[in-house]
Amino acid sequence: MSQRLHLVFGGELTDTQSTQFRDTDNIHIVGIFPNYEAAYSAWKAEAQRTVDSAQTRYFIAHLHRLRDEEKPGGPTEELDVKG
C-alpha cells in the first residue's frame, strides 16, 4: 500500500478572494502528515487559531498526488547536469 502524505500550510493572502500569499517568505508550514485525517485535524486547529484574521488561510496539499511512482517522470523531473 502506498503512503498518502499530506502537507498543511498557510499564511496571509493578498485578499480574501485570492489564494496568492502576501509574503511567501512567511508561509507557515504546519507539517507533513501520514493521512488525510491527521492533516485535516492540523488544518482545523490552525484555521481555528487564526479565525480572527480574515486574510489568513490554511490549505491541505495532497503530496501523494504530485508523484505517482508507477509513472515515468516528466521532462523537469530530474535534470542531468554535468559540471
Q: Is residue 76 part of a domain?
A: no
Residue 6 near residue 63 (C-beta atoms within 8 A): yes
pLDDT tens for the chain, 83 residues: list them. 568 899 999 999 999 899 999 999 999 999 999 999 999 999 999 999 999 999 999 999 999 887 666 666 555 455 444 44
Whichever domain contains 10, its CATH number is 3.30.70.2400
Residue 3 near residue 64 (C-beta atoms within 8 A): yes
pTM assigned to the model: 0.76
Residue 68 near residue 42 (C-beta atoms within 8 A): no
Q: Is residue 41 part of a domain?
A: yes
Give the pLDDT confidence score for residue 14 in this predicted structure: 95
